[in-house]
Amino acid sequence: MQKKIAVLPGDGIGTEVTRGAVEILKAVADRYGHDFQFEYGLIGGTAIDQTGNPLPEDTISLCKDSDAVLLGAVGGPKWDSNPSHLRPEKGLLGIRKQLNLYANLRPISFYASLSEASPLRKEIIQDADFMIVRELTGGLYFGKPSGRTMESGQETVVDTLLYHRYEIKRIIELAFSLAEQRRGKVTSVDKANVLESSKLWREVAEEVSKDYPNVALEHMLVDNAAMQLIRNPRQFDVVVTENMFGDILSDEASVLTGSLGMLPSASISSKGPNLYEPIHGSAPDIAGQNKANPIAAILSAASMLRNSFGLEQEAQAVEAAVEAVLEAGFRTADLSGSGTNTLSTEQMAEEIKISMLGHE
Ligand code: NAI
Ligand code: MG
Which ligand does the CA of 252 lie closest to? 2
Ligand 1 neighbourhood includes 343 CB (under 6 angstroms) = no
What is the torsion angle, in degrees rounded to the nearest 10, for the CA atoms of residue 11, residue 15, residue 18 and residue 22? 140
Residue 12's CB is within 10 A of a number of other CB atoms, namely 29
Crossing angle of helices 222-231/243-254, nearest 10°?
10
- Domains of the chain, by residue range, sit at 1-99+272-360, 113-257
Clarify whether 276 is annotated catalytic.
Answer: no
CATH fourth-level superfamily of 113-257: Isopropylmalate Dehydrogenase (3.40.718.10)
The residue ranges of the chain whose pLDDT is under 70 are: 337-340, 359-360
DSSP-derived 3-state class of residue 350: helix
Predicted structure pTM score = 0.91
Clarify whether 247 is annotated catalytic.
Answer: yes
Select from 7, 119, 107, 110 the least CA-distant residue to 59. 7
What is the torsion angle, in degrees rounded to the nearest 10, for the CA atoms of residue 59, residue 65, residue 68 and residue 71? 0
Select from 18, 80, 78, 91 the least CA-distant residue to 51. 91
One-character DSSP codes across 42-93:
--THHHHHHHS-SS-HHHHHHHHTSSEEEEEE---GGGTTS-GGG-HHHHHH
Clarify whether 191 is annotated catalytic.
Answer: yes
**Which residues lie at CB < 5 A from ion ligand 2?**
247, 251
Please state, in angstroms and rounded to a whole number, the distance separating the CA atoms of residues 356 and 24. Answer: 9
Please state, in angstroms and rounded to a whole number, the distance separating the CA atoms of residues 185 and 216. Answer: 5
Ligand 1 neighbourhood includes 282 CB (under 6 angstroms) = yes
Closest C-alpha residue for ligand 1 atom 11? 283
- What are the tens digits of pLDDT across the range 135-175? 999 999 889 999 999 999 999 999 999 999 999 999 999 99
Identify the pLDDT of residue 133: 98
Identify the pLDDT of residue 338: 54
Identify the pLDDT of residue 254: 87
Identify the pLDDT of residue 193: 97
Phi, psi of 295 (to 5 degrees): -65, -40
Closest C-alpha residue for ligand 1 atom 8? 283
Clarify whether 127 is annotated catalytic.
Answer: no
Identify the pLDDT of residue 340: 59
Please state, in angstroms and rounded to a whole number, the distance separating the CA atoms of residues 208 and 199. Answer: 14
Identify the pLDDT of residue 37: 98
Identify the pLDDT of residue 116: 81
What CATH class has 1-99+272-360?
alpha beta
Same fold, 1-99+272-360 and 113-257: yes
Residue 80 assigned as binding residue: yes
Ligand 1 neighbourhood includes 54 CB (under 6 angstroms) = no
Which ligand does the CA of 294 lie closest to? 1
